[in-house]
Structure 1
Amino acid sequence: MAKVLCVLYDDPIDGYPKSYPRADLPRLERYPDGQTLPTPKAIDFKPGALLGSVSGELGLRKYLEANGHTLVVTSDKDGDNSRLDRELEDAEIVISQPFWPAYMTRERIERAKKLKMIVTAGIGSDHTDLQAAMDRKLTVAEVTYCNSISVAEHVVMMILGLVRNYIPSYQWVVKGGWNIADCAARSYDVEGMQVGTVAAGRIGLAVLRRMKPFDVKLHYTDRHRLPRAVEEEELGLTFHESAAAMVPHCDVVTINCPLHPETEHLFDAKMIGSMKRGAYLINTARGKICDRDAVANALKSGQLAGYAGDVWFPQPAPQDHPWRTMPHHGMTPHISGTSLSAQTRYAAGVREILECYFENRPIRDEYLIVSDGKLAGTGAHSYSAGNATTGSDEAAKFKQ
């Protein structure tokens, strides 16, 4: 029987919820491209429950223990003698989320002698050293598309929040003020702006579709050019061969590409310096795609009018991370893809992956990142071999 090690974020500070604002969720059957939602044989949770925290356990305990497996759930993942490190030695499967990632470095993978599969409850497997996973012939899987629309909605919210100066205006109300001039001094209309996405996969394309009704001019760059019916007829997009070629034209840039060695620190001081002065940058992809200090400096100098996102490196972010205190930012913890709606989908997707694994059935190709020693499925389309986990040990500072 297998030991399944699941790393999840902590429960709410006031305790695990006893009730929720809404009684149910909208019923969805397919994603926009026609892919079906997760199809496990059963689930042992109520849709809309908080499943991504420690007490939620992704709704897996009943299923795993009924089949003789052991489930260990913890939020303790960083620093010397973490629960993750203590439990790794005999774990067969490790599950974690991008929001509270178990950084599966080569060192950890080599120490986990019985490890066979690493699963992301969500999208994005860059917290795993993919090259080390390929060398060990591990399976790496994620629940593709489960929270893509959740993230796209978050991107649109952040674009509007920055351009309209929403957060500082809200704060004036909380402070008891009526400072209209202070609010308006950094507020603009998004109408007519040039908006570009770095990558137009599931999330990037969903952002473009949601921004089109705002009467903006849309741009994109991607490894894989979109079909003419989408690029020209549906959205009227301008295609650019690279991010470097696109960003000088844009008032707003949103980053929606995976993190791998080719995109690490893509937005450095040089790239940001090539953007329009006063542009806005949105990053809900991965924090390490942007150079930490280059972003903070650009906000201080005015090169960027605003930066928003929910991704940091490492995660959780140390308390002294400069993005917490830089001016004109709209940062949140990594929450865009872990709405209660998204949790229902990614918990069901993890259950589907585990059912396939234990029953020796093929895991959906779109869920696969690494298989049989090479990139596979979605991984072959989105990633390149290599390691982006370097420096993740800094996350231990958050708890100090």
Structure 2
Amino acid sequence: MAKVLCVLYDDPVDGYPSGYARDDLPVIDRYPDGQTAPTPKGTDFTPGQLLGSVSGELGLRSFLESRGHTLVVTSDKDRPGSVFERELVDTDVVISQPFWPAYLTAERMATARNLRLAVTAGIGSDHVDLDAAIAHGVTVAEVTFSNSISVAEHVVMMTLSLVRNYLPSHRWVLDGGWNIADCAQRSYDLEGMHVGTVAAGRIGLAVLRRLAPFDVTLHYTDRKRLPEPVERELGLVFHESGAAMVPHCDVVTINAPLHPQTEGMFDDALIGRMKRGAYLINTARARIADRDAVERALRSGQLAGYAGDVWFPQPAPADHPWRTMPHHGMTPHISGTTLSAQARYAAGTREILEDWLDGSPIRDEYLIVAGGGLAGTGAASYSTRG
């Protein structure tokens, strides 16, 4: 029998909800590229419920315990001697979310003598040391595409929030004011601007499609160029590198995975190549941008705004400079954990577990590491230190 250790974020401060704002969710059977949504043999949750917090348990408890497996759920993951570290030593499967990542470092993996599977409930498995997973024979899987559109919508929201100066304007209302000039002094139209994405995979391409109706010029850079019909349909301008693209853009959005080639990419030098007063949106991973370089650029005016929901570490400490830097629109890491997305990534997590426990192949698009190397989506999206 397997021991499954699930690390999830805390319940709401007022307790696990007894009701919800909406009664149902739209049914998404297939993603824009034709990939089918998760297809587990069964589920034990109601779509639209809060599944990603501790009490939600990703809807897994009855399924696992009915088969005789053990499920341990905790939010305690970072402090020395945390529940995560104590339970990890004899765990077979670790499940974590990008929003509250259980960092599976090489050191932790070396202590986990039974670990065979690490599952990301969502997308983005950089909290797992992929080189160590390869060395230890650990399979890494994630629920690819389950929350990609959720993140793309968040990017569009943050872009408009920064360009239109929405958050400071809303603050005037909350504070009882009616200071139109204060609101308008940093507010612009998105129409006519040049917007570029670093990476045009599932999320990046979805962002481009959603921004096209705003009558902007769209730019992108990616390791693999998009098909010519897609470029023509959206009027895309391709650039060989981020350094070549950013001088042309009023808004740059980062939609790339974190790996050795993207870590620290947006440093003082690259931000310095951007147009003065450009906006930078990062819902990918915090370490793609240099923390202090972003703050310096906002204070100097090189950047007009920075928004995102990714931090390092997560959760971010109270004194993290991104909490207090000017002209930002930061949120906790929430872009991919809407109640809509949770229904899909909870179902996908169960699908992965069903296959692994039954000895059946895991979907190729879910695989990041398998068979001693990068596999499936991982082979196309990640690189290793080796």
TM-score (norm 2): 1.00
Q: Deviations over 1:125-161 (max 9, x none)?
A: 0000000000111100000000000000000000000
Q: In 1, Cα distance between the equivalents of 2:174 and 2:202?
A: 37
3-state SS in 1 of match to 2:332: coil
Q: Deviations over 1:225-259 (max 9, x none)?
A: 00001012x10100000111100100000000000
Q: In 2, Cα distance between the equivalents of 1:152 and 1:373?
A: 32
> 1:129–1:386: 8 Å Cα contact kept in structure 2?
no
3-state SS in 1 of match to 2:296: helix
3-state SS in 1 of match to 2:30: coil
Q: In 2, Cα distance between the equivalents of 1:192 and 1:379?
A: 36
Structure 1 residue identity aligned to 2:73 = V
Aligned to 1:366: 365
Please say if 1:318 is aligned against 2:327: no
Aligned to 1:283: 282
Please say if 1:49 is aligned against 2:45: no
Q: Per-residue deviation at 1:347? A: 0.1
3-state SS in 2 of match to 1:167: helix
Please say if 1:181 is aligned against 2:181: yes
Structure 2 residue identity aligned to 1:59 = G
Unaligned runs of 5+ in 2: none
Structure 1 residue identity aligned to 2:10 = D
Once the two structures are aligned, what percentage of the paired residues are identical? 75
Q: In 2, Cα distance between the equivalents of 1:4 and 1:50?
A: 20
Aligned to 2:109: 109
Structure 2 residue identity aligned to 1:104 = L
Aligned to 2:384: 385
Q: Deviations over 1:306-338 (max 9, x none)?
A: 000000011010111000000000000000000
Q: In 2, Cα distance between the equivalents of 1:59 and 1:224?
A: 37
Q: Deviations over 1:52-72 (max 9, x none)?
A: 000000000000000000000
Q: In 2, Cα distance between the equivalents of 1:278 and 1:339?
A: 31
Aligned to 1:126: 126
Give the 5 Å matches for 1:33-182.
33-182=33-182
Q: In 2, Cα distance between the equivalents of 1:242 and 1:128?
A: 27
Q: In 2, Cα distance between the equivalents of 1:136 and 1:385?
A: 14
Aligned to 1:250: 249
Structure 2 residue identity aligned to 1:177 = G
Q: Deviations over 1:255-299 (max 9, x none)?
A: 000001110010001000110000000000000100000000100
Aligned to 2:269: 270
Q: In 1, Cα distance between the equivalents of 2:244 and 2:95?
A: 38
Q: Per-residue deviation at 1:386? A: 3.2
Aligned positions, number = 386
Q: In 2, Cα distance between the equivalents of 1:74 and 1:147?
A: 22
Structure 2 residue identity aligned to 1:114 = N
Q: In 1, Cα distance between the equivalents of 2:258 and 2:191?
A: 30
Please say if 1:216 is aligned against 2:222: no
Please say if 1:196 is aligned against 2:196: yes
3-state SS in 1 of match to 2:329: strand
> 1:200–1:220: 8 Å Cα contact kept in structure 2?
yes
Q: In 1, Cα distance between the equivalents of 2:264 and 2:32?
A: 31
TM-score (norm 1): 0.96
Q: In 2, Cα distance between the equivalents of 1:28 and 1:261?
A: 34
Structure 1 residue identity aligned to 2:196 = G
> 1:139–1:370: 8 Å Cα contact kept in structure 2?
yes
Structure 2 residue identity aligned to 1:44 = D
Structure 2 residue identity aligned to 1:267 = F
Aligned to 2:234: 235
Q: In 2, Cα distance between the equivalents of 1:244 and 1:316?
A: 30
Q: Per-residue deviation at 1:27? A: 1.0
Q: In 2, Cα distance between the equivalents of 1:386 and 1:211?
A: 35
Structure 1 residue identity aligned to 2:66 = A
Aligned to 2:292: 293
Q: In 2, Cα distance between the equivalents of 1:210 and 1:218?
A: 11
Q: In 1, Cα distance between the equivalents of 2:193 and 2:385?
A: 37
Unaligned runs of 5+ in 1: 388-400
Q: In 2, Cα distance between the equivalents of 1:275 and 1:171?
A: 29
Structure 2 residue identity aligned to 1:257 = A
Structure 1 residue identity aligned to 2:100 = W
Aligned to 1:19: 19
Structure 1 residue identity aligned to 2:136 = R
Q: In 2, Cα distance between the equivalents of 1:26 and 1:88?
A: 37
Q: In 1, Cα distance between the equivalents of 2:44 and 2:124?
A: 25
Q: Per-residue deviation at 1:28? A: 1.3
Structure 2 residue identity aligned to 1:28 = I
Structure 2 residue identity aligned to 1:149 = I
Q: In 2, Cα distance between the equivalents of 1:219 and 1:206?
A: 13
Structure 1 residue identity aligned to 2:334 = I
Aligned to 1:259: 258
